[in-house]
Amino acid sequence: MKKIAVVALGGNALLRGNETGTIQQQEKNTYDTCINLIKLLDNDFNIVITHGNGPQVGNILLRNEAGYNTYKIPKMPLDICVADSQGGIGYMVERQLRNILAEKKIRKNVVTMVTQVLVDKNDPAFKNPTKPVGAFYLKEEADLLARANNFIFKEDPRKRGWRRIVASPEPKDVLNKKIIKNLVKKGNIVIASGGGGVPVYLDDKKKLQGIEAVIDKDLASALLAYEIDADDFFILTDVPKVYLNFGKPDQKALDTITVEQAEEYLNQGHFAAGSMGPKIKAAIHFVRNGGKETIITESTQLGNPKAGTIITQN
């Protein structure tokens, strides 16, 4: 039996911060990221790939506004926008993977799955939305949109404008987990739970309904990883290791740490809420729930047994 790895691609896997987001840029970035994933196949892993969708779903929301303002095309809710981004990003990742597998003469199937993730409609996050989505607006524009759509806006901490904020509830269950586990155990590469998954909840009649929310991608990936009994959980980011005092003269790279140490460093404030913090929380979730280890690193380091920061049980 081969080992199973869940690999969470960071936002820079498809779209870099200094880019406009053309399809040519995204496809090149996707190819460059995916070619490193093959190293895991060489190390005897079967893999499930998850990914972020922040820039892409933001662009979809912009198209929502433009289409409505210009042509009165009905706006789509956030769950539909997340599903749209899952399909588009999954298509790009799957196509580039197929090209790379063909180049390397590796015979494997690749499948993309639009994945729903269950949340609790009574999650406290719905009373305290914190997740920014979409474009930056002037205060006057934000006020108009808030009145027209019942949206909530907050000013960006870096004073770049006002952004819509939505709830980021805790993921409770990945609804396609059994199918994903079955497919990956048979050697297929599965792309799933993109952007944290499409957020759904059960109403009073036990029917699934979409909801306006964005689920944290790393937490949803950790949940999927332990639900399918993955051995390893890889979180890919833009730095080779996790650091204490990141960006300061006394920054220190972490090699192997326990979940207790990770929690201690997190509580000490070493990992920012908007960057490494959610990744450390996801790493802890996976290992606490029976996973062997979480590895946080950049994609070029895959396949190197000494790469990245490894978080273990003890």
pLDDT, position 10: 82
**Which two three-digit tokens encode residue 196?**
């944290």
Return d(Cα 277, Cα 265) in angstroms, integer. 10
* Domains with residue ranges and CATH for the chain: 3-130+167-312 (3.40.1160.10)
CA distances (Å), 52 to each of 41, 86, 163, 174, in order?
Answer: 22, 9, 19, 16
CA distances (Å), 313 to each of 46, 87, 89, in order?
Answer: 22, 35, 33
pLDDT, position 18: 80
- Angle of helix 217-227 relative to helix 276-288, nearest 10 degrees, comes to 20
pLDDT, position 134: 82
Sequential pLDDT tens for the chain (314 residues): 799 999 999 866 788 778 888 999 999 999 999 999 999 999 999 999 999 998 889 889 999 989 999 999 999 999 999 999 999 999 999 999 999 999 999 999 999 999 999 999 999 999 999 998 888 899 999 999 999 889 999 999 889 899 999 999 999 999 999 999 999 999 999 999 999 999 999 999 999 999 999 999 999 999 999 999 999 999 999 899 999 999 899 999 999 999 999 999 999 999 988 789 999 999 999 999 999 999 999 999 998 888 899 999 98
The set of catalytic residues is 11-12, 131, 217, 279
The model's pTM is 0.95
DSSP string, the chain: --EEEEEEE-GGGT--TT----HHHHHHHHHHHHHHHHHHHHTTEEEEEEE--HHHHHHHHHHHHHHHHHH-PPPPPHHHHHHHHHHHHHHHHHHHHHHHHHHTT----EEE---EEE--TT-GGGGS--EEEEEEE-HHHHHHHHHHH---EEE-TTSS-EEEEEB-PPP-EETTHHHHHHHHHTT-EEE--GGG-EEEEE-TTS-EEE-SB---HHHHHHHHHHHTT-SEEEEE-SSSSEEETTTSTT-EEE-EEEHHHHHHHHHTT-S-TTTHHHHHHHHHHHHHTT-SEEEEE-GGGTT-TT-SEEEE--
DSSP string, 121-174: TT-GGGGS--EEEEEEE-HHHHHHHHHHH---EEE-TTSS-EEEEEB-PPP-EE
pLDDT, position 290: 94
